[in-house]
Every structure is written in C-alpha cells, then in structure tokens.
Amino acid sequence: MGTPDGNKADYNTIIIGASISGSLAASLLGRAGKDVLLVDPQSFPRRKACGEGLSIVGQRYLEEFGFWTEEVAAHAKPFYGYTIHHEDGAVSNLGNNDSVSTPQGYGISRVLLDSRVYKAALDCPSVELSTGLVRAVEKFSSGWVVTLSNGDEVRSRNLVVACGGGASALFPELEVESASEERYGLALWLRGRWFQENSSLGESHRKVKLSTIHIHHQPEGQYIITPLSKTRINVSILLSKGSSSKLSKQDILQQAFRLVKKSGFEISTLIQTRGAAAIHSSRLALDNHPAYIVGDAVERFDPIGGMGMTHGILSASLAVRHILLADDSPERGLARYYRERGRVARLLRVLTNMSYGLNVSKVSLVRQLVTWSPSLALVVMAALKSQFPRSQQFAEVFEWTSGQAVPSNQFVDPSSADFPYREMPL
C-alpha cells in the first residue's frame, strides 16, 4: 500500500483507545493476522465508576469470540430480571420469576473483563502497544498518518477510534448530539452475603430471585444494585444535577447502604468507591466517516439501560468484520459499517429508552406495561435482541472455530490480593 511519501504502511490498522471496544478490535484483527498498533497512554485495569451489568447479547458475542471462558464465567453472576422499587413504594418484577430460566445478562467486574480482553490483544504477535498520546491524524487517499506525542509518525491503511473523547478531539468538525438529561455518577463495590429471604419487601415479594438487578427510585436519582457473585455487588448511583449539590457523599453512601439492605444484601465490607463526571447519552451526527469510530466514541448510551458494553462489543466486531471483508476497498467497508452500526444502535436505543422511560423520565405507559404485563415486556425485549447480527457470521470472516479460546493471559481474580480495589471496613 502506498502512503503520501511513497513508503509502505507500517500497519494494517491503528486503533486509538484500548477500552473494551478498542482491545476487542485489536485482538480480533491480530488473530486474523493483521498488523495492528494499539495506542493508549493510560494503564490498565481502568479504575473508574461504572455499572457492571452485561446484557446477554454482549455475553454471547464474547463467548463466540472465545473471551467468555469457564474461568471468566466462574467470576460472573447471571441475573434473570429486574426488581424495580418505585418511589411510591410499589415494586415491579420484570422477568425475575420461576418461569424465566434464561439469563437476561451477567454481573461481571469491568476490571476483570477489560483486563482479559486487553491482555488477549497484547498476546497477539502482530499487535503492538504504544503508550504515547496521539497529537494528530491526517487522512490521505492511501490511508492514515498518525502523529504521536514523541514526534513519531506511523502509517496505516485503516484507523479505528475507540476512546470516548477521541472523536471530538481528533475530528472537531463532527457535531455531537445529546439526548438524555445530564446526571452525575457514583459507584461502589461491597462485600457481604445475600439473605435467604427478604422480609423487608413484604410477604408477597419473598420469592423474588436473588440473582436480579435491583433498581431503586429515590428523589435524588437511581440506585442500581448488580450482583457480581454470592458475596460481591456493584452499586451504581445516578444523581440528578440539582440533588447532587444538596447531598453530601456520606448522605448518598448511607442511602445506598440502606437500599442495599432492603434488597436483601448484608454488608460486611466497603471495597471501593469511585466518582464519575457528568453522565448522559450522546452520539455523533454522522452517516459515514473515513475512520471507523466505535464504542463510546461514536455513541454513548445512557447507563440506566445497561447497553454501553454491548454497544462497544458490537460496534468493534462490526468494524473488524468490514475491515477484513473490504480489504481491497476500504471506502465500501466504511459505508457498510456505518449502515450496520446505525441499525444495531437503533435497536439498542429502543431497549435503553424503555429503561429510561421507566426509571428516569417515569413514563406512565412504560410502567403500566411492566406492571400489568411483565411477560409482554420481556417478549418485546427478546424480539428486539433477536434482530442483532448473529455472532456466528463473524467467526466465518475471522477464520476461526466458534468458541476457540483466546491466547492464554494473566487472569485478574476478584477474590485475589492482586485485585486493584482495596477493602475498607465499614
């Protein structure tokens, strides 16, 4: 491949950002034998506030690509539905009953999952890591030139942008559309145990499965409790802008502890807390672009829907698929990627908007659907999920067997001393 100065490209693809979407793309391209440069100045694992619920759609893709091994599954907790505690005291149970046998998703540590995919990418012989900053990118007819902070210029046929602020920083001409109300986030991890029955919910709710995500509505925002194991949970707190200035962090923590106990979990240890900046959904206003923009860089989903990780996995997979399919015609691959990602994103938006309407904007019609016909709500969700591209079609393009294990790499066990959250006794 020619470049502006006539030299051969250094890489097939340069990927900016080693998030789960960037690392996944690097690993898949590396396993397909492509030379990849993965650029990220930040160390891993990330220590940030985040929810830790992975939808069944995202989990199945990871399983198909070989990342969801028995070892990973042993440190994940399936959840079978949602228990929604409304401000007026009513409780809605969506899918968490004895008739539901298929998980709706999994609670899993992002530190564990991110480090697994990241290390798998670096285990590929054709994947290199640069810890420099990207100063500039320039598009030419034959590919891209990327300038790093040390002054080096590297060339590639394809460019993947997989960092949240990367697209707006590198391509300031792109318009960003915001969709949901801006809120503030706080996350904490707790160790303890689940009660055998939850008397605080009342007699009619004692049979609620423990392996559900609990969502508590409070005047200041939403408290989302995700089981990660028999002894660990994640609590993600989404606070409205007005209420966050009226409550101290200690007030919020005490409220979280009370709601955790109400959900049936007895706390023994506060493992860690993390704050987050302003949170809201946003997306780039584009139908096409000369770079593959994936994950949060192209669209950030509101966290109440739990579709952020799934979108990162799906968009990265689609980008790699079209890089490989359109090796002789990058422009055609880009057009197809943005068309398919747009279709997938619309489905994810519907699922997210249903959750947002129920939990944040409190649309009465959505609550009535969940209250009076939770099975119908599940049917609607299942129908939407069935429209996603089948993960098997990627395996055919990537030229490996379904379920093939990724290269071995160090595994971060949440119960080990190496897990990067320190314990703080209450």
Domain with residue 148: its CATH number is 3.50.50.60
Mean pLDDT of 48-62: 83
Residue 124 domain-assigned (yes or no): yes
- φ/ψ of 3, rounded to 5, equals -125, 175
| Residue 365 pLDDT > 50 | yes
Does residue 187 share a domain with residue 160?
A: no
Comparing 40-49, 321-330, 352-361, which segment has the lowest mean pLDDT? 40-49
Does residue 53 share a domain with residue 166?
A: yes
The last residue of a domain, from among 220, 248, 280: 280
Distance from C-alpha of 92 to C-alpha of 98, rounded to nearest angstrom = 15
Does residue 190 share a domain with residue 104?
A: yes
Whether cis (ω within 30° of 0) applies to the bond prior to 45 is: yes
Percent helix, percent strand, percent coil in the chain, to nearest 5? 35, 30, 35
Does residue 312 share a domain with residue 184?
A: no
Does residue 195 share a domain with residue 227?
A: yes
Residue 390: the pLDDT is 63
pLDDT band at 317 (very low <50, low <70, confident <90, very high): very high
Does residue 232 share a domain with residue 95?
A: yes
Does residue 164 share a domain with residue 21?
A: yes
49 CB neighbour count, 10 Å cutoff: 21
More confident residue, 163 or 51: 163
Residue 244: the pLDDT is 57
Residue 73: the pLDDT is 92
Does residue 311 share a domain with residue 236?
A: no
Does residue 209 share a domain with residue 269?
A: yes
Residue 409 domain-assigned (yes or no): no
The HSE-up count of residue 222 (CA atoms within 13 Å, CB side) is 27
The last residue of a domain, from among 280, 311, 334: 280
Residue 2 domain-assigned (yes or no): no
pLDDT digits (tens, 9 = 90+) for 221-280: 999 999 999 899 999 999 887 765 678 889 999 999 999 999 999 999 999 888 766 777
Nearest to 13 by CA among 121, 135, 170: 121
Residue 301 domain-assigned (yes or no): yes
Residue 403 domain-assigned (yes or no): no
| Residue 172 pLDDT > 60 | yes
Residues with Cβ within 8 Å of 388's Cβ and at least 6 positions away in sequence, in order, are 57, 314, 344, 347
CATH number at residue 89: 3.30.9.100
Domain enclosing residue 257, as ranges:
72-109+180-280
Does residue 142 share a domain with residue 262?
A: no
Does residue 126 share a domain with residue 149?
A: yes
Comparing 62-66, 112-116, 120-124, 197-201, which segment has the lowest mean pLDDT? 197-201
What is the C-alpha R_g of the chain? 22
Residue 280: the pLDDT is 78
Residue 404 domain-assigned (yes or no): no
DSSP 165-217: THHHHH-TTS-EEE-S--EEEEEEEEEEEE-SS-GGG-GGGTT--SSSEEEEE
> Does residue 334 sit in helix, strand or coil?
helix
Q: Taking the model in full, what pTM does it have?
A: 0.85
Identify which of 103-117, 156-170, 268-282 has the greatest average pLDDT.
103-117
Q: Which tokens hold the place of 5? A: 């100065």
37, β-bridge pairs:
14, 128
> Does residue 38 sit in helix, strand or coil?
strand
Residue 64 domain-assigned (yes or no): no
**Counts of helices then strands in the chain (DSSP H, E):** 12, 21
Residue 158: the pLDDT is 96
Comparing 47-61, 135-149, 192-206, which segment has the lowest mean pLDDT? 192-206
Does residue 232 share a domain with residue 186?
A: yes
Number of domains in the chain: 2
Residue 204: the pLDDT is 42
pLDDT digits (tens, 9 = 90+) for 129-145: 999 999 999 998 889 99
Distance from C-alpha of 145 to C-alpha of 8, rounded to nearest angstrom = 12
Distance from C-alpha of 8 to C-alpha of 10, rounded to nearest angstrom = 6
